[in-house]
């Protein structure tokens, strides 16, 4: 218990630190005092609350969603390399999002939620297709098979997106920027758009924390332990797709967050999902806030897409995990 | 408690298990035996419900397993599968805690006192409490196996299905684990069904056994009905031999190797016996199958060195086995392949003779003295002295178990007749003696050459033993008397 208390304390301090840095550092440096005393500097307060804060909150939500979804996918597939990006689920969500933007679709009743809902549908469809295909290739669903299948689907869906982009003409630049992943200039409406889905998806995954622990020992073993496999699997797949779809809809494709964060959490605090899930959520938020901070300050005034930063960290971590798994040093 | 009726099933269209029916009562243990690919594991999967059956029923306490909710079923039935590798490491405690999963409900269900005590108890029973915080993948295969057994025990179910629970365990841990499971089965009235690889272990621990071959029951019943050489040989396609367990009324089997024992033709010959005042010594090139009432290595076994040692009349040592073992070691022999007897008679008077028969020959060696002569039919309380008629019968031939025992009977009768002939009397009763108070007998055979199923007094072997023992004993008694007279 003591160990867990430390884990949560450290994670929350990191998150708080990331938020404070995220809202104060930038082209205009703002004193943290403005946070609790807006009247001390009206202009600064305006920048902080209307530009930086929604950006930080959005980055945090997207990071949390991707990290917890990654942790759940890894547990479900017993595959430490699985994450929304490597499985091709992010690409599926992108296709949904680009299609919505391209055709200007708005579904009645859904309003602003049209974009995330169609992204989620794309994510779920891709997830199911990837799993079905991987199972067709190799019944035991080996780590490499699943990741390769993810790459195949990513490539294919990427080409579909490229085709649509080529057909748009003038909006090209905007969509490409969006594709590389960014949380800039989104504002509070985007936070509102994603928030309900991220909360529901995370909560559903958290409900399956014990089932995920059991499934780490294989579906058969989990069934012996009394897990309703069909129901839990479906819940985890749908929740993971909801989280990915919502995250991609507001920020584009940001890779590797779902890989790096759960891996670090497991390395430091063990692989019990009762803690891996919430800790991934908190630390995913902190990591993406920091990545966003780096992306907009490192070559200021130009902004780097945030996906560039996460891939820069994530790809080597991916290589490292793969190496360790292959060498049998678990 | 657990009732299986006409169960068939397998993968795809192929029914691996066909029409299996049995019932297991509360508090008892059923062992499933069968060669690789006989459908044992498939049967387990059908019973546990992870593999849907194509026909037939599985009932727990009268209720079909399909009618249970997933968690409900896990509270009734715990399963120990075969060990698999895992991508993520759990600690031992986290793994065993999962066994409590079916007992938890609700979104925020907390860890109850009962959960905690069940987990502690399971760890204690499997003797793994010290590994509580260790990562599973850092444990040896045997320790991991115990962790998974503890997980199944923590489920606190009434039915326990085990797939080779003693896999990866050394013999001590095999015994401890099965002792624990057996004890739990009796104390908590559990119903246990377990797959076994080791027929002898299954026979020792199970109340009922089921022999499976090609998905069908070949034989089912108590161990003595199932562990029979002929059935085991047909099903496993291996030569085996039955023998009794030394402590329990449970039959055991021994493998007989496919390769014949390469034996240098061993021949026992009278001239190879070394007779000296210290002892009568015979050393064989090949181990001989032996049954004896010696001091060292009595009972049956395979031995190469045979000693009949002279000791003083007043030899009186509390632990004669230890002293005799020391003596054998001092002489440079190996106590594990030596049969050792003692006598107060002077061993240089030993009579060793060879008798030829059609099958081969028999060598008889006797040392005799009648200081303690007894008429067995009138045995009364008397002081016990040192053994005085030691008879060895060493056969160049292949004896059956019956022949070994019959050879002893025949030899004893011949000895008694010799005492009669010599008019040896029991000094206490004054009647004709039948032997002395501490006689020993030994029958050895090369187990090569002619097969001799019987050794009664009118068989060829029995005749040689009868005449031989009689003659040698008479001669030995005469030299004993002459020596005494001097």
Pairing of strands B216-221, B373-374: unpaired
Residues B348 and B429 in one domain: yes
Task: Please determine, for residue A242, whether its predicted confidence score (pLDDT) is greater than 60.
Answer: yes
In a domain, B57, yes or no: yes
Residue B261 lies in a domain: no
Task: Single out the residue in B228, B255, B282 at which a domain terminates.
Answer: B255
Please give the angle made by the CA atoms of B440, B443 and B444, to the nearest 5 degrees. Answer: 135
Cα separation, B119 vs B350, whole angstroms: 69
Would the CB atoms of B90 and A221 count as touching at under 8 Å?
Answer: no
CA–CA dist A141, A132 (Å, integer): 10
Cross-strand partners of A237:
none
Residue B125, φ and ψ in degrees, nearest 5: -60, -40
Residue that finishes a domain, picked among B230, B255, B280: B255
Q: Is the pLDDT of residue A325 over 80?
A: no
- Structural domain includes residue B158: yes
Q: Does B383 fall in a domain?
A: yes
* Chain-chain contact of A224 with B71 (C-beta, under 8 angstroms): no
Residue B195: strand, helix, or coil: strand
Say if residue B246 is in the same domain as residue B313. Answer: no
| Residue A145 predicted with pLDDT over 60 | yes
What is d(CA B303, CA B416) in angstroms, rounded to the nearest whole number? 28
pLDDT of residue B109: 66
For residue B66, what are its two tokens? 């399909």
Residues of A in contact with B137 (CB under 8 A): 330
**Residue of A78, A203, A224 to mutate, testing the B interface (most B Cβ within 10 Å of its Cβ):** A224
Write down the pLDDT at residue B382: 60
Q: Do residues B468 and B357 touch, judged by C-beta distance below 8 A?
A: no
* pLDDT given at position A330: 43
Whether residue B238 is found in the same domain as residue B321: no
Check whether residue B428 and residue B455 sit in a common domain: yes
**Structural domain total, chain A:** 1
Residues 6+ apart with CB under 8 A from A320: none
Number of residues written out for chain A: 330
Q: Is B114 on the interface with A (CB under 8 A)?
A: no
Say yes or no: B466 and B320 in one domain.
yes
Q: How many CA atoms lie within 13 A of A168 on its CB side?
A: 20
Instruction: Please indicate, yes or no, whether residues B287 and B246 belong to a single structural domain of this protein.
Output: no
For residues B276 and B376, membership in a common domain is answered with: yes
- Judge if B225 and B275 occupy the same domain: no
Q: Which of B52, B60, B65, B70 to mutate to test the interface with A (most CBs of A within 10 A)?
A: B70
| Confidence band of A18 (pLDDT split at 50, 70, 90) | very high
How crowded is residue B348: how many other Cβ atoms within 10 Å of its Cβ? 15
Of A78, A225, A229, A232, which to mutate for an interface test with B (greatest number of B Cβ within 10 Å)? Answer: A225
Is residue B57 within 8 A of residue B8, CB to CB? The reply is no
Helices marked H in chain A: 2-24, 33-36, 42-47, 53-77, 89-103, 114-137, 143-168, 172-179, 188-207, 209-215, 219-224, 229-251, 257-269, 273-297, 306-326
A-to-B residue pairs, Cβ atoms closer than 8 angstroms? 80
Pairwise CA distance, residues B178 & B168, whole Å: 14
ipTM above 0.85 for this complex: no
Q: What is the DSSP string of A180-239?
A: T---TT--HHHHHHHHHHHHHHHHHHHHTHHHHHHHTT-HHHHHHTT--HHHHHHHHHHH
The reply to whether B355 falls in a domain is yes
Cβ contact, residue pair B81, A75, below 8 Å? no
Determine the distance from the C-alpha atom of residue B307 to the mean position of all C-alpha atoms in its chain, rounded to a whole number: 27
Query: Which residues on chain A are in Cβ contact (under 8 Å) with B116?
Result: none
User: What is the predicted pLDDT for the residue at A315?
Assistant: 86
Q: Is B319 helix (H, G, I), strand (E, B) or coil?
A: coil
What is the domain extent for residue A185?
Answer: 2-326
Last residue of a domain, one of B202, B227, B255: B255
Q: Residue A173 has what pLDDT? A: 64
In terms of domains, do B241 and B317 share one?
no
- How far the first Cα of chain A sits from its last, in Å, is 24
CATH classification at residue A149: 1.10.3470.10
Host H or E run for residue B240? strand B240-244
pLDDT at B79: 92
What span, in angstroms and rounded, lies between the C-alpha atoms of B444 and B361?
Answer: 12
Q: What is the distance between the alpha carbons of residues B252 and B199, in angstroms, rounded to a whole number?
A: 8
d(CA B174, CA B201): 9
pLDDT of residue A171: 63
Is there a single domain that holds both residue B360 and residue B235? Answer: no
Do both B282 and B373 map to the same domain? Answer: yes
Residues B195 and B290 in one domain: no
| Domain assignment of residue B263, yes or no | no
**Contact at CB, B98 and A226, closer than 8 angstroms:** no
Low-confidence residues in chain B, pLDDT < 70: 84-87, 109, 259-264, 379-387
Residue B386 has a pLDDT of: 47
B262 occurs within a structural domain: no
Q: Inter-chain contact A80–B87, Cβ cutoff 8 Å?
A: yes
Which member of A78, A213, A214 has the closest CB to residue B87? A78
- Considering only residues A123 and A105, tell me which one the structure prediction assigns the higher pLDDT: A123
DSSP A245-279: HHHHHHH----SHHHHHHHHHHHHH-S-HHHHHHH
Cα–Cα distance, A202 to B317 (Å, whole number): 82
DSSP lists the bridge partners of residue B442 as B292, B392
Tokens linked to A10: 């450290």
CA distance B254 to B199: 10
pLDDT over 80 at A170, yes or no: no
Position B188 in a domain: yes
Angle at A70 between CA A68 and CA A75, to 5 degrees: 95
Q: pLDDT tens, B414-446?
A: 999 999 998 888 888 888 888 888 899 999 999
* Between residues A50 and A93, the one the model is more confident about: A93
Per the DSSP assignment, residues forming a β-bridge with B253 are: B242
Taking a C-beta distance cutoff of 8 angstroms, is the pair B68, A244 a contact?
no
Q: Do A210 and B101 touch (CB under 8 A)?
A: yes
Which domain does B68 fall in, by range? 2-255
Domain harbouring B84, CATH code = 3.40.50.300
> Strands, DSSP E only, in chain A?
none
User: How is residue B273 written in tokens?
Assistant: 């016996």
Number of domains in chain B: 2
């Amino acid at each position: 218990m003591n160990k867990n208390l430390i884990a949560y304390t450290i994670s929350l301090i990191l998150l708080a630190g990331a938020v404070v840095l995220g809202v104060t550092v930038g082209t205009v440096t703002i004193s943290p005092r403005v946070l609790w005393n807006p009247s001390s500097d009206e202009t600064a307060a305006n920048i902080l609350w209307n530009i930086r804060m929604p950006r930080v909150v959005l980055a945090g939500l997207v990071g949390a969603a991707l990290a917890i979804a990654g942790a759940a996918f890894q547990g479900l597939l017993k595959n430490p390399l699985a994450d929304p990006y490597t499985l091709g689920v992010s690409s599926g969500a992108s296709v949904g999002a680009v299609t919505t933007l391209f055709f200007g679709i708005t579904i009645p009743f859904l309003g602003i939620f049209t974009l995330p809902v169609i992204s989620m549908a794309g994510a779920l469809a891709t997830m199911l297709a990837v799993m079905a295909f991987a199972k067709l290739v190799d019944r035991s669903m080996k780590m490499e098979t699943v990741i390769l299948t993810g790459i195949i689907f990513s490539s294919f869906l990427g080409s579909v997106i490229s085709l649509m982009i080529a057909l748009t003409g003038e909006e090209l630049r905007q969509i490409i920027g969006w594709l590389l992943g960014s949380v800039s200039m989104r504002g509070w409406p985007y936070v509102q758009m994603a928030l309900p889905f991220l909360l529901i998806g995370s909560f559903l995954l958290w409900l399956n924390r014990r089932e995920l622990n059991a499934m780490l020992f294989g579906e058969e073993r989990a069934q012996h332990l009394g897990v309703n496999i069909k129901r839990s699997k479906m819940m985890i797949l749908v929740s993971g797709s909801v989280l990915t779809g919502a995250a991609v809809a507001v920020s584009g494709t940001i890779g590797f967050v779902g890989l790096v964060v759960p891996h670090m959490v497991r390395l430091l605090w063990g692989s019990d999902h009762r803690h891996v899930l919430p800790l991934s959520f908190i630390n995913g938020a902190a990591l993406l806030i920091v990545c966003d901070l780096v992306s907009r300050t490192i070559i200021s005034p130009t902004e780097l897409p945030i996906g560039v930063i996460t891939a820069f960290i994530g790809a080597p971590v991916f290589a490292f995990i793969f190496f360790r798994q292959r060498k049998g040093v678990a | 408690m657990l009732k299986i009726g006409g169960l068939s099933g397998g993968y795809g269209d192929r029914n691996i298990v066909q029409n299996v029916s049995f019932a297991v009562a509360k508090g008892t243990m059923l062992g499933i035996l069968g060669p690789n690919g006989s459908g044992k594991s498939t049967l387990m999967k059908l019973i546990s419900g992870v593999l849907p059956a194509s026909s037939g029923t599985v009932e727990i306490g009268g209720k079909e397993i399909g009618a249970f909710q997933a968690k409900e079923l896990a509270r009734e039935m715990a399963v120990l599968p075969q060990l698999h590798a895992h991508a993520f490491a759990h600690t031992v405690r986290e793994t065993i805690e999962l066994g409590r999963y079916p007992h938890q409900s609700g979104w925020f269900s907390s860890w109850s006192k009962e959960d905690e005590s069940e987990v502690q108890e399971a760890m204690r029973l499997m003797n793994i409490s010290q590994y509580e915080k260790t990562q599973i993948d850092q444990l040896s295969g045997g320790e991991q196996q115990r962790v998974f057994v503890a997980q199944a025990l923590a489920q606190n179910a009434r039915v326990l299905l085990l797939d080779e629970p003693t896999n990866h365990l050394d013999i001590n841990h095999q015994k401890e684990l099965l002792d624990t499971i057996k004890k739990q089965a009796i104390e908590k009235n559990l119903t246990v069904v377990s797959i076994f690889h080791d027929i002898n272990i299954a026979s020792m621990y199970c109340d009922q056994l089921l022999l499976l071959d090609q998905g069908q029951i070949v034989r089912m019943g108590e161990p003595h009905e199932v562990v029979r050489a002929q059935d085991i040989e047909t099903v496993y396609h291996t030569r085996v031999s039955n023998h009794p367990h030394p402590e329990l009324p449970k039959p055991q089997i021994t493998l007989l190797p496919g390769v014949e024992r390469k034996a240098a033709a061993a021949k026992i010959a009278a001239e190879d016996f070394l007779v000296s005042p210290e002892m009568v010594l015979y050393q064989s090139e090949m181990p001989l199958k032996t049954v004896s009432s010696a001091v060292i290595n009595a009972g049956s076994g395979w031995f190469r060195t045979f000693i009949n040692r002279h000791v003083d009349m007043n030899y009186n040592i509390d632990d004669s086995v230890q002293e005799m073992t020391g003596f054998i070691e001092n002489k440079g022999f190996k106590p594990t392949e030596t049969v050792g007897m003692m006598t107060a008679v002077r061993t240089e008077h030993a009579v060793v003779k060879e008798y030829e028969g059609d099958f081969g020959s028999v060598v008889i060696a006797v040392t005799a003295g009648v200081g303690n002569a007894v008429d067995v039919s009138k045995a009364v309380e008397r002081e016990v002295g040192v053994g005085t008629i030691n008879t060895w019968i060493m056969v160049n031939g292949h004896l059956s178990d019956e022949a070994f025992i019959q050879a002893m009977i025949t030899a004893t009768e011949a000895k008694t007749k010799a005492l009669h002939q010599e008019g040896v009397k029991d000094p206490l009763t004054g009647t004709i003696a039948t032997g002395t108070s501490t006689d020993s007998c030994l029958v050895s055979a090369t187990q090569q050459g002619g097969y001799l199923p019987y050794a009664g007094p009118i068989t060829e072997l029995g005749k040689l033993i009868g005449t031989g023992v009689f003659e040698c004993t008479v001669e030995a008694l005469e030299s004993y008397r002459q020596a005494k007279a001097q």
